[in-house]
Amino acid sequence: MKKALQVVQAFDRALIKEITVDDEQALRTKLKTAASTLNNRKDWLKPYERMAILKRAAQLLTSEQGRFAKLIAQEGGKPFTDATIEVTRAIDGLNDAAEELRHFAGKEIPMGLTPASDHRWAFTVKEPIGVVAAISAFNHPLNLIVHQVAPAIAVGCPVIIKPATTTPLCCLELIQLVRQAGLPEAWCQTFITEDNSLAEQLATDERIAFLSFIGSAKVGWSLRSKLSPGTRCALEHGGAAPVIVDRSADIQKTTQSLVKGGYYHAGQVCVSVQRILVHKDIISPFMDEFVKRVTSLRVGDPLFKETEVGPLILPRETERVMSWIDEAVAKGAKLFGGGRFSETTLLPAVLLNPPADAKVSQLEIFGPVTCVYEYEQLDEAIRIANSLPVAFQASVFSEDIEPALKAAECLEASTVLINDHTAFRTDWMPFAGLKQSGYGIGGIPWTMNDMSKEKMIVLKKN
């Protein structure tokens, strides 16, 4: 008898659905199917067919936006309003992948630049890299799947997607829509498992040409070290996003932005605002306004439209975050707000000046907590911001162009945002972790490029 996985609501742990878990034999079958599909070149889908499938999938998802938003809120705990935005982004992502095919092409390589290259015409074409394995995370259970699957479909790669076991339903429902839109099942298969060794088998199988991994740095880097020779990969891990607030910053606008960037999805985002470095001249008015806004956030059931902060994905995560807060306070930090709303849900917290050796200063919190630190000189703030082995997105708030540009130049980040929070993202922009935060570049156009290979063709003229 096959094992079942119970999928529960993040907020109250109520059962949503039981689904069947795949075993090792299922994995072998899926890998064989994907490889056979790739090798049967005459049955490859044409670009216009792939484009049409993605656009039809976007239309189907649009017609079911409310159902998917509810499912995101249930299994993932994201507040319904934000979940609705996630569905909109997923729709846009499907359309973006389809439209990118209009520009997805090789290029002419100049010949005749030397006598040896004369009388030749050369150009490149883009082909699918091969079978893609995609391992996803819980925090954007629909849009992350789109970012991993839609590029593969667009390029023409068979893909096997393993969603997070806490949030598999959005993935399963989305893939059903894609099949309803006309994609043959062999081109996109799901793999459901709680067995980490089976997930590793998927990623490291010699038939996998590209691994897309979203999750912890420990697992991501371990998988990369075990990939089959020739397998490419893209890794998206966590961060501890720094923000520098210059003395010239507009406190009202800055605090409003940072509250959204720090407490969106209860801080369970790899680019959530975490470390806020505030100039000492404005620390008092900044804290007054920031704490007022944070403690006014509406906490509760993510299915309620007024909820702004929902649960953490698992009860054990609330225990971990609470213990990190307690440690910081014991070491001298001052706590504003915080506390427990329920078994799964924490009240938003602000820590003022936690020490450098506290976990909240060293590690990704992934909870509804931000840390505020005073600084005197901009160089000091930049040094602190760059001091961790993780780097993703960073921000600087300033009404003075000089410190803003200096911070933008010196901050170690793949993206520096000026007068905007670190959690800002569009789905067509490059998105990349540096240092331990990742490898490769995300964003639908960049992922499509990663999932392709460029072949050069040289024609010798008579």
The reported pLDDT for the residue numbered 3 is: 87
In a domain, 205, yes or no: yes
Domain that includes residue 18, residue range: 4-237+437-460
DSSP 47: H
In a domain, 358, yes or no: yes
What is the end-to-end Cα distance of the chain in Å, rounded?
67
List the beta bridge partners of residue 276. Answer: 243, 372
SS3 label, residue 400: coil
Q: In terms of domains, do 389 and 245 share one?
A: yes
Q: In terms of domains, do 214 and 74 share one?
A: yes
In a domain, 181, yes or no: yes
Predicted TM-score (pTM) of this structure = 0.95
pLDDT, tens digit (0-9, with 9 covering 90-100), for 210-244: 999 999 999 999 999 999 999 999 999 999 999 99
CA distance linking residue 69 with residue 80, whole number of Å: 6
CATH code of the domain containing 442: 3.40.605.10
CA distance linking residue 354 with residue 351, whole number of Å: 6
The reported pLDDT for the residue numbered 1 is: 62
Q: In terms of domains, do 149 and 113 share one?
A: yes
Q: In terms of domains, do 294 and 331 share one?
A: yes
Q: In terms of domains, do 220 and 368 share one?
A: no
CA distance linking residue 400 with residue 301, whole number of Å: 41
CA distance linking residue 320 with residue 407, whole number of Å: 33
Chain mean position to CA 260? 17
User: Is 236 among the residues known to form the active site?
Assistant: yes
User: Is 185 among the residues known to form the active site?
Assistant: no
**DSSP string computed for 366-390:** -SSEEEEEEESSHHHHHHHHT-SSE
CATH code of the domain containing 378: 3.40.309.10
The active-site residue out of 75, 86, 236, 317 is 236
Q: In terms of domains, do 61 and 171 share one?
A: yes
In a domain, 201, yes or no: yes
Q: Is 18 exposed, middle or buried (0-12, 13-18, 19+ CB in 10 A)?
A: exposed
In a domain, 432, yes or no: no
CA distance linking residue 336 with residue 346, whole number of Å: 13
Mean pLDDT in consecutive groups of 10 residues from the start of the chain, 462 residues: 90 98 98 98 97 99 98 99 98 98 96 96 98 98 99 99 99 99 99 98 98 98 98 97 98 99 98 99 98 98 98 98 98 97 98 98 98 98 98 98 98 98 95 96 97 97 86
Neighbours of 323 (CB within 10 A): 11
Q: What is the tally of structural domains in the chain?
A: 2
Q: In terms of domains, do 207 and 275 share one?
A: no
- Report which of 149, 139, 162 is spatially closest to residue 94, judged by C-alpha positions: 149
Q: In terms of domains, do 166 and 18 share one?
A: yes
Q: In terms of domains, do 145 and 251 share one?
A: no
Q: In terms of domains, do 125 and 160 share one?
A: yes
Q: Are 94 and 54 in contact (CB under 8 A)?
A: yes
pLDDT, tens digit (0-9, with 9 covering 90-100), for 273-291: 999 999 999 999 999 999 9
In a domain, 351, yes or no: yes
In a domain, 48, yes or no: yes
Q: Are 341 and 347 in contact (CB under 8 A)?
A: yes
In a domain, 13, yes or no: yes
Q: In terms of domains, do 412 and 278 share one?
A: yes
Angle of helix 24-39 relative to helix 196-204, nearest 10 degrees?
20
Largest CA distance in the chain: 81
The reported pLDDT for the residue numbered 187 is: 99
The active-site residue out of 171, 270, 371, 410 is 270
Task: Give the number of C-alpha atoms closer than 13 A to the C-alpha of residue 30, restricted to the C-beta side.
Answer: 27
Chain mean position to CA 110? 38
Q: In terms of domains, do 94 and 147 share one?
A: yes
